[in-house]
Chains A and B, each alone.
Chain A
Amino acid sequence: MKDKKLNIFISILYFIGVLALFLVITCTPVDAATLKNSTDNYLVNYKMSSYNELFSYWSSTDANGSGGSIADSGFNLKPNVLPNSITINSDNDRFHWPIKLFKQRGNSYFDYLYLNSYNIRPYISNSDNPNLSNWCNPSINANGCTFDIGFSVIWDFSIPNDTPNFDLSLQQSISYILNNYNKARFSYYYYTDNQNNIDSISVPLNTKVIQSYQVEEEGTTYYTLNVYYTQKLYNFAGFSTGKTRPAGDNDFYYNNGGFYFETSEYDSYTTYLLFHDNDLYWNTSLEFNDFYYAYSNSSNGGSNSDITGEDSSKDEILRQQEETNRKLEDIYAKINDTSPPDTSGLGGSAGWLPAGPVDSIINLPLTFFQGLNNAMATSCSPVNVPLPFVNQNVQLPCVNTLFNQINGFNTWWNAMGLIAAAFILYKYLIHLYQWVDNTLTFRENNWQDWGGI
């Protein structure tokens, strides 16, 4: 019997240990700050599907596709309900909001239009209170705004007074979406010219921006950005890249099914854009399977061939070391985490059972003890007892009121009670000590025990 109890105890400990290990492994987030500050090789897997199409809008334009007419005609917004809570971060003066508009020009094709986020204000509302508007003001909510689950994020566009004829010339939108759960960050950069076309370097007319990625890294000299894609890309004629700063060549090439970009030392904070040059397949959906940032600390700043061979092996070792260091830092941070455990999940456990007969039967002992405890805690009240045959009630006063009428008796009575209580408590505590000792040493099956005095 003792072995059986020991086995149960060990099983519980084993279960808790496995559960804790599982949680530690699965709860390690992808930290955007680590990504940003990393100067060595570092590989982060971005699930693009988590960030694409968070919200999309449909807007109508005039036949010329003029930006001014867009502002005048207003927007037919179709806000989507966010799938989960997100926090949109602000970064001092670079406070930008993700916005993507589909602009129709005639019936031929669509284009993407991206507006300056300084003119965009988001607010939240819900179905219970449609009039609720909680503006997320960039100047007030310096740390970003959090939108809760189920809330609709509606984007309002306010056109500055000094630009009544809204000019799309060189409008820029930089969007930082910081996911509240995994902290992964994805950034956009978009430019348009006064023809409502994407005005990036060396981009042909009618070229659509598929995605663009910004690499921010200080102190490093060489970056590689790999974009792996799915088979859905086959509809597109091709891709090219552009760099917003400095204006230069489109360093772009395929390798092993991915797109590669390179920057040099002075290319920090360079934005890389992906374009495709074919409008015939505008309605083809584009999906990136995975999106990888691969950083290299190689200082040669050379071409693609520089990341092969020996350097590649060394980089791989450095990357693994960096990853190991990062995991150790995570473990160290968890060990030194003194914050109390979150037990809010235990709330509401009293309502697990639906109200009904079963609920009443199961809770009957608790009802009994609750009544008994209340009776012992409350003061006495006189009792009315009906007398038979005379059909009248007689009131029995509380005994302690009678005691109070006898001079000194109440004090003496309480003193006697104090002595009796001391003996009772002494006996009970001795019993409790033996009970705890027997329980901890597995000498008794005490879960069936009740009282003992």
Chain B
Amino acid sequence: MFKALFNIMIGLIATIIQIIVWPINAVITNTLPDFSDKITQITGVFSTVFNYISWALSIIPTPVITALSFMLLCEIAKHTIFRSTHALIKVWNVFQKIKFW
């Protein structure tokens, strides 16, 4: 029962997100095809650039790279948690305004 209720809530949120995102996707894809290509190029540039970065990083001693990786991991996790919490609070505020229960 709990799982079913949880899945229903997640399904509702996913459906709402998809409904919101779908027209935006359609507009960008159909009216701005170049924009879609640019996004693909940017994504590709990332991988190319980081290939060179791995060469440059080899200059730095391995312990320093390990320490930097750890810090980067912590910062990403921290930022993700806070961003998610902030988004959840905003969603909760919207739910409070709806008051369907």
Contact = CB atoms under 8 A, between A and B. Distances in A.
Nearest to A412: B61
Contact of A432 (B42, B52, B74): B74
B94 interface: no
Contact of B57 (A349, A376, A451): A376
Given A15-B92, A364-B42, A425-B71, 16 more contacts: A344-B3, A354-B22, A354-B25, A357-B35, A360-B39, A371-B46, A372-B53, A381-B51, A382-B55, A398-B55, A414-B63, A417-B60, A417-B63, A420-B63, A421-B64, A428-B74
The prevalent SS among residues of B at the interface is: helix
Closest 4 CB pairs of A and B: A417-B61, A356-B25, A380-B58, A447-B82
Interface of B: 1-3, 5-7, 10, 13-14, 17-18, 21-22, 24-25, 28-29, 32, 35-36, 39-40, 42-43, 46-47, 49-55, 57-76, 78-79, 82-83, 85-86, 89, 92, 96
Given A357-B36, A447-B83, A364 B6 contact: no
A210 interface: no
A416 B63 CA distance: 9
Contact of A352 (B14, B78, B79): B14
A221 to B, nearest CB: 36
A368 B53 CA distance: 13
Nearest to B79: A450
A27 B55 contact: no
Nearest to B48: A371
29 contacts: A11-B96, A23-B1, A342-B2, A342-B3, A345-B7, A353-B17, A356-B25, A357-B25, A357-B32, A357-B36, A359-B25, A361-B39, A364-B42, A369-B72, A371-B47, A372-B50, A372-B53, A373-B69, A373-B73, A375-B54, A379-B54, A417-B61, A417-B64, A418-B61, A421-B64, A424-B71, A446-B82, A450-B75, A453-B71
Contacts, number: 153
Contacts of B55: 380-383, 396, 398
Interface in A338-394: 342, 344-346, 349, 352-354, 356-361, 364, 367-369, 371-383
Contacts of B74: 428, 432
B71 A23 contact: no
B57 A377 contact: no
B19 to A, nearest CB: 10
Contacts of B17: 352-353
Nearest to B15: A352
Given A358-B25, A364-B43, A375 B51 contact: yes
A12 to B, nearest CB: 7
A188 to B, nearest CB: 27
B1 A26 contact: yes
Contacts of A376: 54, 57, 65, 68-69, 72
Given A345-B6, A354-B22, A356-B29, A378 B75 contact: no
A356 B65 CA distance: 35
A371 B24 CA distance: 27
A421 B63 contact: yes
Contacts of A361: 39
B46 to A, nearest CB: 4
Contact of B46 (A346, A367, A400): A367
Nearest to A370: B46
Given A345-B7, A372-B72, A398-B58, A421 B66 contact: yes
A373 B75 CA distance: 12
A379 B65 CA distance: 11
A352 B51 contact: no
Contacts of B10: 345-346, 349
Contacts of B75: 450-451
A231 B48 CA distance: 76
Nearest to A29: B1
